[in-house]
Structure 1
Amino acid sequence: MNFDIQAFQDGALAFLLAFGSAGLVLIVFKYLYQFATPYNELKLIRDGNQCAALTLGGATIGFAIPVAMSMSQAHSLAEFFAWAALAGIIQIVTFVIVRTLVVKDLAARIERGEFSTAIYLASLSIAVGLLNAASMTE
């Protein structure tokens, strides 16, 4: 079995482009999500608030799942970014709906460290991400 260095270089370049693009959209999503929340996740996390870490982690995972799916489904970088943008919008809209209609005092509960609220929000974010990814078909 021979190692084809050219094939590896071509594949590695595609890998780096895909991984870098995914990392970029993940970072952008994280900042947009944090902007949409009424509390400062980073400050809360630095202060040891595990609920803030759980909810931000759940939202990030919930976003990463459809991003991974779009990486395998998209036929171009532009299509990948479009799917990633849609996935991010759906995650943020889900948070806004939960905050305004389901758990109206969500911010206070997260800031107080109420795990039931954090687990609910993180679980919902991951569930939405799974449904989002499953919906990405041609």
Structure 2
Amino acid sequence: MDAPITAHSFLNFLAYAGIGIGVLIAAAVAVLLITPHRELSLIREGNTAAATAFSGTLIGLALPLHSAISNSVSLIDAAIWGAVSVIVQLFAFLLARLVAPKLSQQITLNQTAAGIFSAGVSISVGLINAAAMTP
């Protein structure tokens, strides 16, 4: 009987998980740098709108990363498609700010609707982004 987990498969898991988490962290930092409001400070202060928006951002980033890793043929392929997904998500965020120019201000003021809208945009685009990454 074959072992369910081999050393090789475990190393592959660590490599792909590392790529995924690394790209997710880099993307989250990029989002933190381009947003006019300071999400982490607002979240620490108990701002629900900021927490909702940033949670949606993380989910919206993770969805296409999942697809990139699932459909990749190598670590480099996963990293490249992961980077592409980040660019698409950042573009979606900037587009949301065009549609709702006071979005950042509203999130800073803890207007929950703004946080929900921002999260919804991130998750929606993340789902489409993920679905578009087919082999």
User: Could you tell me the TM-score, scaled by structure 2's length?
Assistant: 0.95
Please list the CA deviations of residues 72-114 of structure 1 after superposition, one character each: whole Å capped at 9, or x if unmatched: 1111111111111111111111111111x21111111000111
Q: How large is the Cα RMSD of the aligned pairs?
A: 1.3
Counterpart for residue 131 of structure 1: 128
Q: State the partner residue of 1:73.
A: 71
Which residue of 49, 71, 74 maps to 2:47?
49
Is the aligned partner of 1:34 residue 2:32? Answer: yes
Whether contact under 8 Å (2:56, 2:122) holds in the other structure is yes
Q: Matched residue of 2:86: which SS?
A: helix
Q: Which amino acid aligns with 2:20?
A: A
For residue 3 of structure 1, report the CA deviation from its aligned partner: 4.9
CA distance in 1, matches of 2:27, 2:68: 15
Shift of 1:56: 0.8
Equivalent-residue separation in structure 1 for 2:91 and 2:35 (angstroms): 11
2:20 corresponds to which residue?
Answer: 22
1:99-137 Cα deviation digits (max 9, x unpaired): 1x2111111100011111111110111010000000012
% of aligned pairs identical?
A: 36
Unaligned runs of 5+ in 2: none
Moved over 2 A (4+): 2-5
Give the equivalent residue in structure 2 for 1:116. Answer: 113
Structure 1 gap ranges (5+): none
**How many residues are paired up?**
135
**Displacement, 1:4?**
2.7
- Residue of structure 1 in register with 2:84 after alignment: 86
TM-score, length basis structure 1 = 0.93
Which amino acid in the other structure matches residue 93 of structure 2?
F
For the pair shown, the structure with the greater C-alpha radius of gyration is 1
